[in-house]
Every structure is written in structure tokens, then in C-alpha cells.
Amino acid sequence: MAVRLRDAIGRMPTYKAGKPAPPGPDGVSYKLSSNENPYPPLPGVLEAASEAAGRMNRYPDATNALITEAVAESLGVNQDQLSFGTGSVAVLYQLLQATCETGDEVVYAWRSFEAYPIGVIASGATPVPVDLGPGATHDLDAMLAAITPATRVVLLCTPNNPTGPVIPHNDLVAFIDQVPDDVLVVVDEAYVEFVSDERAARGLDALDGRDNVAVLRTFSKAYGLAGLRVGFCVADPVVAAGVRAVSLPFGLSIAAQAAAVASLEARESLTERVRALVVERDQLLSGLAALDLDVTDSQANFVWLPAKENTQLWADEFSRNGLMTRPYIAGDHNDGIRITVGEPEANALVLKVAATLR
């Protein structure tokens, strides 16, 4: 082949998206492999998106004016602190593009969100993964020790995907205050709406008064807009402007912008749905623990089974019963299984199948 691709392309791991489930013995299946919201769009969202889609012959607003205004008002931040993209993962890539180049390093916990090493390598930087600590939590001391003069960014996922625990807020603040001022700390809060632990990290509070902190949020999870791809970051105005500078023009579609604004207007319904999912999550956690299965303290919309050598075996058993989960296996290294909190019927089936796992 005559065309020369960047050497980095060959070093990139492949992102593994969740798969649909084959029918179980009774013909029913549940996809619990992608951390999707099992509920339909919030009230008024489908109508707003459909009306906007009628103008698809026109380009969307490249400045994202309406959604910027709505999010700024909702979070109590300034509009110039915001930058949007097609999901928080796209905004993460834009953050890395705006801050990193060849020779730089990016520190993150592992295992964590599998898009991290892909985005780091794509930016030209070098990934510096740091093993999780006990309970599948971030080992902040080890992450601090991994920072070198070449470090440009540190990624913190709280709640951590795929393991579920949060970083305590006091620990987050203490960590940030020990990071060099020229290193950007990215607090990835894709699952923040599901957090019920009052001690958990509060990214926006940590951002206040610090220009080397950026917070990632998404409409994909709690708001149920995974198919429309809307995410954003909140950061110092200079950082946010840098992210906007490398963003693709017209990235957010007309329908996506309208759906996000309408979702913010349906806060009461959102609160009810999140509360219901949290109840289901906690019941699933307690049910798995009652079966003497090792689980972590998840504060997201999923639970984590550190199945180790049983990872594929157990995932196959769930699949045979109509439940597609997400096994994490890299070569000979088996980590565990992430199970999205789904419909009550799906969660009940998870516990039924889990009772047979040994």
C-alpha cells in the first residue's frame, strides 16, 4: 500500500461496543452491555426532535447557542465555560487534541473507560495507565506518582466505568491541589446523575477557582439520548475556547440540539427515572452480594462483577439466557463483567442467572 498512515494507528486498541443479546429460552432478550437508559425519551423530547428534524435540509447552529444557554442556566456556569460535541467521548478527544502533542503523557486509571487510550494515542501523546486500587477504585497516590514533567493531562472517571466506585470529593480536591498547575485534570462525570453517595466527588465544585480542571458530562446516560450523541465539558474559558477551536463544525445535529434542550426542561421526569434506576441498581447490588458474588460499590447505572478467570464463562451463561452483558478481556487478562441496570424484568433475570454461577 502506497498511502502512509500514522504509526499511532497501529498502536490503537479497538473500541468494543456493546452487542445485542440473542433470544433466551423463552424468546426474550435484554441488552445490558452498553449502559443505555432502558426508558424512552423524556416527555416532550421526541416531539422537539421530530420538529427539528423537519429542518434537516439546513445546517444546525454551529455555535450551539440554545443548548449552551440552557446548560449554562441549568448548571449555574458561564456560557464561555462550555464546549459541546457528539457525546462526552468526542469532547474528551477534543480536549486531548487541544492540550497534547507528540512526547506528552496522559495519566489515567486502569481499568477505566476504554476510549481513554484510543483518544490519547490519537492525539499523539503517550498513555500512562495506573492500576486501580482495592475495591476497583482510583489509586490517587499512585496516579500522583505517575505524573512527570511530560504529563499534560490526568483523566479521572467518577463513577468509574466499568467498575462503578466514585472518588470521594475531599480526595479529589486534595489530589487536584497536588497536581502541577500546567496539568489539566479532567473529571469525567458521565454517570453523575446516578450518584447517591453524598461523599462523592463534585466536579463543578472542584472546578470553581481552578483553571486546570475540566468536567465532562453527557446526555447519553440519564437523559436517554445515547442515539443522538450530545456531550459537553465545563472548563476555564480559555480551555473551553481551545476545545471549541478543534471541534468539528456543525457537530451537533439540529435534532440533537433540540432534544437536549427539551430534556433539560423535563427535569421532574428525569429525577423520577433516575431515582427508579438507582433503586434497581441498589437492589441488583444487594441481590448479587446475597449470592456471595463479589461486587463493587457502584454509583452508576451498572454493576461490576470482577469475575477474573470466569469472565467469559459467566458472560456466555448470561447470553444463553437472553442477557447480553459486557465482558472485559484483554489477551490472557480477564477483568470482569459489567452489567447495565435495565428494566425490572431484566434485573430479575440477572439475579436468577447469577444464582447459577459458581
Element (H, E) at 304: strand 302-305
Q: What is the distance between the alpha carbons of residues 251 and 111, in angstroms, rounded to a whole number? A: 29
| Confidence at 101, pLDDT banded by 50, 70, 90 | very high
Residue 358: which residues within 8 A CB-CB, separation 6 or more? none
User: Do residues 342 and 38 lie in contact, with contact meaning Cβ atoms separated by under 8 Å?
Assistant: yes
Q: How confident is the model at residue 7 (pLDDT cuts 50, 70, 90)?
A: confident
pLDDT tens sequence across 121-131: 999 999 999 99
- Given a contact cutoff of 8 angstroms between Cβ atoms, the answer to whether 71 and 230 are in contact is no
pLDDT at position 282 is: 98
CA dihedral (102, 108, 113, 116) in degrees, to 10, reads: 0
Distance CA 344, CA 198 (A): 26
User: Residue 196 has what pLDDT?
Assistant: 96
Backbone phi, then psi, for 186, in 5-degree steps? Answer: -100, 115
Torsion of CA 14, 17, 18, 21, to 10 degrees: -90
Per-residue confidence band for 1, with pLDDT thresholds at 50, 70 and 90: low
Please report which confidence band the pLDDT of residue 26 belongs to, taking 50, 70 and 90 as the band edges: confident
Q: Which of 127, 82, 86 is nearest to 243 (CA)?
A: 82
Dump pLDDT digits (tens) for 103-112.
999 999 999 9
Q: Is the pLDDT of residue 21 over 80?
A: no
User: pLDDT tier at 335 (50, 70, 90 boundaries)?
Assistant: confident
Mean pLDDT of all residues in the chain?
95
Single out the residue of 339, 33, 42, 94 nearest to residue 216, CA to CA: 94
The pLDDT > 70 percentage for the chain reads 99
Model confidence at 331, pLDDT cuts 50, 70, 90, reads low
The per-residue pLDDT for 332 is 59
Average pLDDT over residues 130-136: 95
Q: pLDDT band for 324, please (50, 70, 90 cuts).
A: very high
How do residues 174-228 score in pLDDT, each as one tens digit?
999 999 999 999 999 999 999 999 999 999 999 999 999 999 999 999 999 999 9
Which pLDDT does position 143 carry in this prediction? 98
Q: How confident is the model at residue 334 (pLDDT cuts 50, 70, 90)?
A: low
Tens-digit pLDDT profile for residues 269-278: 999 999 999 9
Mean pLDDT calculated for residue range 110-118: 96
Give percent of the chain with pLDDT exceeding 90: 90
